[in-house]
Structure 1
Amino acid sequence: MNRISIFSVILMLMGFVANAQISIKGTVYDKDSKEVLPGVNIVIRGKTQHGTTTDVSGKFNVTVKEHERLILSFTGFKTLELSYNDLLQNPEQKFYMEPGILLNEVTVTASLANSRSKKAIGANIEHIDAGKIVETSNPSSLADIMNGRISGAQVYNTNGKVGMPIRFDIRSSATFSMDRDPLIFIDGIRYNNSNTSDINSSQEGMSALNDLPLNDIASIDVIKGPSAAASYGAEAANGVIVIQTKRGVSGKKGISVNAKYTTGFSQLANKYTQFVNNDAINNFFDKGTEQQVYANMTAQFDQNNSLFFSVNNNVVNGIVPGNRDDRQTIRAGYDFSKDRFKLALTAGFVKGKLSIPQSASGRNDAIWNLMRTKEPWAYITEDTWRAIDKSYDNSRFTGSVKAGYTFPLDIKMETLIGLDVNNIKGVNYLAYGYLLGTSNTGSKTLSNRSNDNLNWDFKLNRNFILNSKLQLNLVLLSQLTRSYEKSSTINVRNFAVDGISNVGSAAEILSVGETDFEKRTHGLYGEAFLSYNDVLFINTGLRRDVSNMVGRNVASIWYPTVSVAYNIAKLPFLHGKVDEWKLRASYGQSGRLPYPTDAQTSYLVQNSSFGTSVTPNTKGNPDIKPERTSELEFGTDINLFKQRISFTYYRQRTTDAIVYTTLKPSLGWPSSLSGDYPENIGIVSGQGIELSINSRVFTSNNNKNSIDVFAILNHQSNEVINANGRDILNTVSLIRQGLPTYAFYSTVSEGPVFNAAGVYTGAKESELKYLGKPFPTFNGSFGFRAQLLGNLSIQSLFTYSQGAKVYNISMRNVASQGDNFKASEDLKALLATQTPDTDAYRATATELAKYANYRGNYIESNDFIRLSNLTISYDLGTWAARQTGGVLKRCVISVTGNNLWLNTSYKGAEPQIDSQGGSSRTRGIGSLSYDWTAVPAPKTFALNLNIGF
């Protein structure tokens, strides 16, 4: 061999050594079950980074060079990292991943632009595995899924009837706005969650969230404040709820069918004891019933195609006679993935009818008639009340198309179009022949409403590998949203004869109305996400919004956000007992848009015998701006000795808070518009602490028995920093500098007043004074989950609240206008038997004075602790598979109860109540935490059977 040939061979050998590599054709398994794991993320990290995923058989094929490392990660499993030498020592090329609960176990919605591993997020974003909750329990609304399961929030139905609104109290409530609902996205669709009260009161409006397909929800991510929600722009200061529904993507080829049957009943949770005649109101309530059938099919046709389809039929009768929700749902989802292209389609349709009998807050309502006097039905006969038909026919279509493509240079494009179309027809009808007031010739109100939402998101994403440890991800996103609402109503009375009920046959048209508004918002959002060594994560973003909902002098609005998360893997001084420890901080800004007509001045054209006149209707402010809320958040998450602990401290500051002030009649505006003029004059601050603990306190040697406990503690407060020197009072709700928002402010009794003969003549009225706030100082939850014998599961959820007040207006009305309030009636009867100007007489009069007609006497504490849910389930899957020869692959039977026990300081029927309902487009400051004869939350029981093929 000549010198040239020898030299060439040496060069080849040197090149081989310098570029030593190994080809891996591996399979990934679950270390415990030994089953293959499809969809595992495979990353090869060196000077650059690239990767793939395992196929449906858990297999992958990559090449790893000597200086590179192989990293396997999968949700619910500990990350497996292997060096080149580790791979050489694994000739079978089988990789076993160990299940584990780590901070990076869950992928959550980090921003509008991205979902990320929880360990990479600097804000406290909560994740709810809703699929597991719904699987065994029986939630009646989104509130039942969320309340008590996330820190920093109370979520509850404002009325105990079926289909009622939900109130969201998230974090410090640092706003004057009555619209406190978070934004809701379902599969990327901007969901219209406005309540409907076209033919009834806002207290008993129909909740739009009643249309959510609870059995189809897979997960819920809750973004609680502007520090995390800034990417969503001008309407996200109340937070964002991101809902993902179930999909057909299983990673395992084949078709599976699951079915769920639910039967249950509900009843009055606590008997009324506050009245002289309690029997009439207690006997009024029915035993409610529920029958629900749900089924879904998932199909993985091949690695690229999957389908999900579900149907649901649910019929619920509430505890108020005539309250009924009859609802049918169809939902489908299709996913396609091939090379650089991805496509996801979703479609859902809901058809339902909700009957809402009139039961609260008026003289023709059932509960008011039953409460006020010893002899019930003083203002309306029971026959007439039962003859009134108040109902909504409701249909809703939601659909989305999401497409993604990876261009050369790894530039990822993704676009989504979401559509939410809701049509509602309402009727309030009383037939001819029933006496209502002074008329027995009937009446009818018809309403027709359409709510249409459209959103279009377009995103470009590029990931840069700067070196072996440093990565930079850049995102640019455009979001266009359009909401259009249109409603019309006609109200008639006096039908000619019995049996004819069409509007045209009525002798008198009382009113005809039509309203509409359009809201358009365009947001442009840019985000830079820096990752160092999979330990340090820094995210910055900026959003610019333009909306037609603000004044003409506001060109655009900017919202910044920045967050940092630092993960400490092990602490040597704790000898490896800390699985993971994360420090986090975030800052962001978001807002609340004004009321739809706040920027516009309108006039009313009226015709009379004197001719046509134009009078002021509303006074708009063309300079109105959205409220801007800034939030700074610090926190830590730690897994220590099998305990998961999360702590968060936040501060909020709202500027440009919208306050509705009084117009001066001297400027030509009528006194009827008092409190209607919008101005940006307020500043509100808020702060809070969120603490959650999840702990495994016992595990048996065979792993068949375990006990987990959890607890959530929230503390929050707010204060009006500036209201431009004004006091704004609505009944007993006050906005004043130095007090909490919506502070209760009224007079109370200071004791009895006697005449010269010592006879009690009434109560002495105090000066106006601060009497509390409608938001709790402390609230949260606790409970346990016990797994016994491998198959039996017992779960409990307790919720509690302390420091809030409720205006018990129903008790005030009964005490001052009726004769059925037991406390005052007993004292009156006792006083009549006693001798004036004696110690016993004066003591009784002192107690009786506490029930005088002053509003402050009925602002009461509503501290409570409640057993919100108890669920017992048993997994019969192994037995069922054996009995059916493997045809039945899953069988779980469960019993669940909601609102089973309550201990409260509140003297009314239900401490967690609000007559204003959920979101309310109310000009003026409105009112919060008013109990105006609202229906209390019922106690419910349900039996669920889940089977899978």
Structure 2
Amino acid sequence: MLLPKSSMLVLLCLCSSLALIAQQNISGRIKDATNGNPIPGATVRVPNSNRGAISDVEGKYSIGVPATVSKLIVSYTGYKTQTVAIPPGATSLNITLEEDFARLEEIVVTGLATNIKRKNLANAVATISGKELTGVAPAQTFDAALSGKVPGAMITANSGAPGGGISVKLRGITSVFGNSQPLYVVDGIFFNNASVPAGLNDVTAAATAGNPNNQDNPSSRIADLNPEDIENIEILKGASAAAMYGAKAAAGVIIITTKKGKAGKTKVSFNQEVGFAKVRHLMGVRQFTAETAADLGGSATSNDPDVKAARAKMKAQFEAAQSAGKIYDYEKEMFGETGLLLNTSVSVSGGSEKTTFYLAGNRRQENGIIKNTGYFNNSIRLNVDHKINDRLSVGVTTNFINSSSDRGLTNNDNNSVSYGVALSTTPGFAELHPNALGEYPRNPFSSSNPLETRDKMINNEGVNRFVGGGNLEYRIQQSNHSTTKFIVRGGVDYFNLKTTAVFPRDLQFEEKAQQGHSIQGNTNNLNTNLAGFVVNTFTPHENLTLTSTAGATLETGYLDNIVTSATNLVNGQSNVDASGNTTTRQFRQKYRDNGMFVQEDLSLMDAFTLSGGVRFDRSTNNGDYLKYYAFPKGAFSWNISKMKFWNVDKVDNLKVRIAYGQSGNVPPYGSKFTGMLGSNIGGYPGILVDNLLGNPNITPERQTELETGVDISLFNGRVALEATYYNKRIYDVLLRHNIPSSTGYATEWKNSGDLSNNGIELGLTVIPINTPKVKWTSNINWWRNRSKMTKLVIPPYAIGAFGASLGTFYLEEGQPVTQIKGIVNKDLVVVGDAEPRFQMSFFNDITFLKNFSLRFLIHWKKGGDNINLTQLLNDGGATSADYDDLINGQKAGAYRPGGGAGIYVQDASYVRVREIGLYYNVPLKNTKTVKGIRLGISANNFFTWTRYVGYDPEVSNFGSNTITTAQSRGSNGLSTGVDVMPYPASKRASFHLGIDF
């Protein structure tokens, strides 16, 4: 039946009224409570829904609110989250937010799919904002930017070569031969940080004597990540925090969240950095005289006619060079280039309430302090988030990276071909420069002419990398007291790495040996991870919240590395087929890991937090690949200041906490198998059994950690202290050790012992001044770690470095894992310890005159010894700057090599101004297009105070996390602090310009 027109009109009016009643629009402005300035980017959301809004540049917001909703939740990073009541019938609501000086409202990850506010957190989780990475003095790479910012971390630059190479150890030694580097997770994607050698050992023979570990010094792949894309970082330092990552989390987890768009007007940002890099410190060279030059030919007391002739020749050569003005400082010439730094980035972000996006491109160019070295990195990122409806939302992150790194030829070698080793025996009166025809003279003091090697050789790493992931979140059920979400998260990390190392046949050291090398490497790596979670949040009472999580994970990895080494090259050619001999090596690894977990979190009266969970993991790298290993966790915190009896006005927050957890470290790939090695047998291809015996019963290393601490916040957060003590034990430590030759093998894999780490971490944040004109924030961190080999089922033995005569790491039950032993007066004694006594950092952020900002970070490392073989090589080559100084009546350069192992085990303490930057926000008036202009000047690692005589006290000859099979020799957890002619560290200064549109 048709309704009359009048009835239809009445019905439409009723529907319209009901619609108005069902939803109301609330608008207003959000301001800072201290100075009344608008807060752009604040989030206003309806509780228990996906509905929300973002304030604009003037702090204005507008949101549609169902009539049944009586409050809004307002949050912004650095401010206290507020729950604001909506007055009945209100359409306008202005809101003020107070600064969260103690960061108590900061959201911190507590599991694979859950998080919690810092004020209720039961673990010590370090957080670093993107501003702290790039807003002071940008470092060379992302991982280098972490230095001095993470309590409990030992972060070491393995080399100063462009493209990075950083070793990160969290809370001490986690593993000796297993993975000792943290797991990196970027937007839920497991980010591969493997270092891939270029095959340089074929030329340097660095691993043919002394320490057999890989010494190619490749870069770390985490350096591919662009720091300017990062929103924030959370660092789970121990098992109690990282247990939900299971068998990959023994060395800690670094969770990285990249930037996302925000609803509102589209924002365009342009940033330009222009700067330079110079060598941080030169060791100096020996200043020869005619007599000391003659000493290079032999002893002055010798009556041997040949020695006398050699002395006369050296003296004549020096005098001729001196009269011609050709006494050179080859160290300065080699390492004294000024490297140009250019870093350009553009980002576009914005969107609506339903869809937000972040698009950014970056181009970084860095020339090294050695000629023909440098680093280029181009990256583009697109992050998109879309709310399909109030229940379903999806997000996609994509990142493509193209990089090229020319790393030169540094570090140890046994053929005297790397720059530093060749220079260590070459006096300044030797002529190494090319003549008018471009012909380089032969160097009579070394196997190579390092200037010729530098100018003609190539050592390049080229990378193409794609990292992409997706996140789907569906709200299955929703009520006033309960919400259930289903989350699916997956990611892919693929990179292709091409290494090219070319040494032409006309190089001095190639002419009579291999007549040229062309070493071409190609590596393809694919990692995938997929996870599904169900999360239920149940709030039966406003003072009680229960969060239940269950999920399953799957990770796979496949790496294929092929290296072809060609010798006897056709002159001027680099192709491997233009050679007389080729050798090809291939290494492949493949793994599949499965995990399941459950977790329960309880919050009571916003004062008590109790969390418990367990993860079950299995891996194809384990001896029994079908066996699941359990990794439990539990945590409790009590925020005493939230109790009704608490009435101390000056103390805003007082929390005690305790946490326990377990995590694992899967065995190295292939350690359960005995390898087969390719061989040529009588002209026919064949295989031989390797001399390293696999272990089919090998099990993962297991780590347990007990952590306890107290957090205090005073004077409305202007003074905040975080104190933590941890005790970490690692069981079933994986070792390769010698076995009787009668077995037919030389070494064997075995779960051979236990070790422990315990330490203290203190963090103090103080805001001495907080006025509209001046604000000063100061962060002071202090931390120390002590390790011990608590159990060793095999005899004590040396590991790492180059033998007891020089000082070597030495595993021994009941002693520190990081102890260094050496032979002194024919006895094997302790000569040092690589573990620092403590570390301390001091960060200050001072805002003054409204628009100026001064920030600086000072890092103090007290103690921790290096094995300084750079000085040993200079002494042995008679080129040390202090060679002619007297020690006990003997020349220093001759005295030290005979003084025992302890001479070259040296204190590597330092105080360093890691970052200092002065920035100015240009005040703008009546501009519609340009929203902001920033100008700045900064310096990175520019000032260092140390007594260490090497190029840098922060160094290691061995890379980190080098790809390795059970049969090959990769890096190990005890390799930090071995100094053998590295690429010297650089100091950097930059000018900055930033424009927002």
TM-score by length of 2: 0.83
2:729 equivalent to 1:653: yes
Please tell me whether the aligned partners of residues 169 and 182 of structure 2 are also in contact (alpha carbons under 8 angstroms).
no
CA–CA separation in structure 1 for the residues paired with 2:366 and 2:755: 42
User: SS of the residue aligned with 2:119?
Assistant: helix
2:994 equivalent to 1:946: yes
CA–CA separation in structure 2 for the residues paired with 1:281 and 1:526: 59
Shift of 1:613: 6.5
Shift of 1:948: 0.6
CA–CA separation in structure 2 for the residues paired with 1:525 and 1:743: 38
Residue-by-residue CA offset, 1:699-719 (whole Å, 9 max, x unaligned): 34xx12122222110011010
Please tell me whether the aligned partners of residues 174 and 652 of structure 1 are also in contact (alpha carbons under 8 angstroms).
no
2:348 aligns with one of 280, 297, 302: 297
CA–CA separation in structure 2 for the residues paired with 1:468 and 1:699: 35
User: SS of the residue aligned with 2:241?
Assistant: helix
What residue in structure 1 maps to residue 498 of structure 2?
425
- The 10-residue stretch of structure 1 (166-175 or 713-722) with the greater mean CA deviation from structure 2: 166-175
Kindly report which structure 2 residues correspond to 1:688-699, keeping only aligned pairs within 5 A, or say none.
688-699=759-770
Residue-by-residue CA offset, 1:63-120 (whole Å, 9 max, x unaligned): 579xx9876555433344568xx95798965443333334432112222222322223
CA–CA separation in structure 2 for the residues paired with 1:924 and 1:722: 23
Question: Which one-letter code corresponds to 1:379 in the other structure?
Answer: S
2:988 equivalent to 1:930: no
Q: Which runs of 5+ in 2 are unaligned?
A: 1-20, 56-60, 202-214, 289-327, 431-442
What residue in structure 2 maps to residue 165 of structure 1?
165
Shift of 1:924: 8.9
2:412 equivalent to 1:364: no
- The 10-residue stretch of structure 1 (587-596 or 425-434) with the greater mean CA deviation from structure 2: 425-434
User: SS of the residue aligned with 1:625?
Assistant: coil
CA–CA separation in structure 2 for the residues paired with 1:542 and 1:886: 55
2:597 aligns with one of 525, 544, 565: 525
Change (3 A) 1:574 1:139: farther
1:568 aligns with one of 637, 640, 648: 640
User: SS of the residue aligned with 1:812?
Assistant: helix
User: SS of the residue aligned with 2:248?
Assistant: coil
Shift of 1:603: 2.5
CA–CA separation in structure 2 for the residues paired with 1:224 and 1:142: 18
2:782 equivalent to 1:713: yes
Question: Which one-letter code corresponds to 1:928 in the other structure?
Answer: T
2:448 equivalent to 1:380: yes
Residue-by-residue CA offset, 1:859-915 (whole Å, 9 max, x unaligned): 111111111111110011x23x54xx3211011011110111111132222111011
What residue in structure 2 maps to residue 273 of structure 1?
284
CA–CA separation in structure 2 for the residues paired with 1:71 and 1:419: 35
Shift of 1:923: 6.1
1:867 aligns with one of 913, 920, 941: 913
Question: Which one-letter code corresponds to 1:304 in the other structure?
Answer: K
User: SS of the residue aligned with 1:232?
Assistant: helix
Residue-by-residue CA offset, 1:15-61 (whole Å, 9 max, x unaligned): xxxxxx99986446334335687533444xxxxx8896456624353
User: SS of the residue aligned with 1:914?
Assistant: coil
Kindly report which structure 2 residues correspond to 1:893-908, keeping only aligned pairs within 5 A, or say none.
893-908=935-950
Please tell me whether the aligned partners of residues 236 and 252 of structure 2 are also in contact (alpha carbons under 8 angstroms).
yes
Change (3 A) 1:178 1:523: closer
Change (3 A) 1:654 1:384: closer
Shift of 1:667: 1.4
Kindly report which structure 2 residues correspond to 1:596-615, keeping only aligned pairs within 5 A, or say none.
596-604=669-677, 606-609=679-682, 615=688
What residue in structure 2 maps to residue 225 of structure 1?
238
2:374 equivalent to 1:324: yes
Please tell me whether the aligned partners of residues 138 and 145 of structure 2 are also in contact (alpha carbons under 8 angstroms).
no
2:193 equivalent to 1:151: no
Shift of 1:727: 0.6
CA–CA separation in structure 2 for the residues paired with 1:610 and 1:439: 23
Kindly report which structure 2 residues correspond to 1:19-168, keeping only aligned pairs within 5 A, or say none.
26-27=26-27, 29-30=30-31, 31=33, 32-34=36-38, 39-43=43-47, 53-54=52-53, 57-59=61-63, 61-62=65-66, 74-81=76-83, 87=87, 93-131=93-131, 133-168=133-168
CA–CA separation in structure 1 for the residues paired with 2:137 and 2:541: 49
Please tell me whether the aligned partners of residues 136 and 944 of structure 1 are also in contact (alpha carbons under 8 angstroms).
no
Shift of 1:823: 3.7
CA–CA separation in structure 2 for the residues paired with 1:708 and 1:636: 21
What residue in structure 1 maps to residue 205 of structure 2?
none
- The 10-residue stretch of structure 1 (210-219 or 459-468) with the greater mean CA deviation from structure 2: 459-468
What residue in structure 2 maps to residue 810 of structure 1?
870
What residue in structure 2 maps to residue 542 of structure 1?
614
1:682 aligns with one of 744, 748, 753: 753
Please tell me whether the aligned partners of residues 570 and 578 of structure 1 are also in contact (alpha carbons under 8 angstroms).
no
Kindly report which structure 2 residues correspond to 1:664-679, keeping only aligned pairs within 5 A, or say none.
664-669=740-745, 673-674=746-747, 677-679=748-750
What residue in structure 2 maps to residue 186 of structure 1?
186
User: SS of the residue aligned with 1:919?
Assistant: coil
Please tell me whether the aligned partners of residues 899 and 937 of structure 1 are also in contact (alpha carbons under 8 angstroms).
no
Q: Which runs of 5+ in 1 are unaligned?
A: 1-20, 44-48, 749-764, 829-841
User: SS of the residue aligned with 2:955?
Assistant: coil
1:887 aligns with one of 918, 929, 932: 929
2:259 equivalent to 1:246: yes
Please tell me whether the aligned partners of residues 53 and 353 of structure 2 are also in contact (alpha carbons under 8 angstroms).
no
1:635 aligns with one of 709, 716, 721: 709
What residue in structure 1 maps to residue 405 of structure 2?
354
What residue in structure 2 maps to residue 334 of structure 1?
384
Change (3 A) 1:78 1:594: same
Please tell me whether the aligned partners of residues 135 and 946 of structure 1 are also in contact (alpha carbons under 8 angstroms).
no
What residue in structure 1 maps to residue 309 of structure 2?
none
1:234 aligns with one of 240, 247, 250: 247
Please tell me whether the aligned partners of residues 425 and 878 of structure 2 are also in contact (alpha carbons under 8 angstroms).
yes
Question: How many residue pairs are counted as aligned between the two chains?
Answer: 874
Please tell me whether the aligned partners of residues 203 and 914 of structure 1 are also in contact (alpha carbons under 8 angstroms).
no
Please tell me whether the aligned partners of residues 24 and 64 of structure 1 are also in contact (alpha carbons under 8 angstroms).
no
CA–CA separation in structure 1 for the residues paired with 2:496 and 2:851: 45
What residue in structure 2 maps to residue 835 of structure 1?
none
What residue in structure 2 maps to residue 857 of structure 1?
903
Residue-by-residue CA offset, 1:157-187 (whole Å, 9 max, x unaligned): 2211111311112113243236321000111
2:830 aligns with one of 742, 747, 770: 770
Shift of 1:568: 3.2
User: SS of the residue aligned with 2:827?
Assistant: coil
- The 10-residue stretch of structure 1 (290-299 or 725-734) with the greater mean CA deviation from structure 2: 725-734
CA–CA separation in structure 1 for the residues paired with 2:359 and 2:673: 46
Kindly report which structure 2 residues correspond to 1:735-774, keeping only aligned pairs within 5 A, or say none.
735-748=811-824, 765-774=825-834
Change (3 A) 1:457 1:854: same
2:484 equivalent to 1:408: no
2:279 equivalent to 1:259: no
Using the aligned pairs only, state the percent identity.
Answer: 22
- The 10-residue stretch of structure 1 (261-270 or 851-860) with the greater mean CA deviation from structure 2: 851-860
Shift of 1:358: 0.5
User: SS of the residue aligned with 1:204?
Assistant: coil
TM-score by length of 1: 0.87
What residue in structure 2 maps to residue 915 of structure 1?
957
What residue in structure 1 maps to residue 532 of structure 2?
458
CA–CA separation in structure 2 for the residues paired with 1:294 and 1:71: 34
What residue in structure 2 maps to residue 820 of structure 1?
879
Change (3 A) 1:140 1:80: same
User: SS of the residue aligned with 1:112?
Assistant: coil
1:345 aligns with one of 396, 403, 417: 396
What residue in structure 2 maps to residue 762 of structure 1?
none
User: SS of the residue aligned with 1:910?
Assistant: coil
Please tell me whether the aligned partners of residues 219 and 245 of structure 1 are also in contact (alpha carbons under 8 angstroms).
yes
Please tell me whether the aligned partners of residues 143 and 222 of structure 2 are also in contact (alpha carbons under 8 angstroms).
no
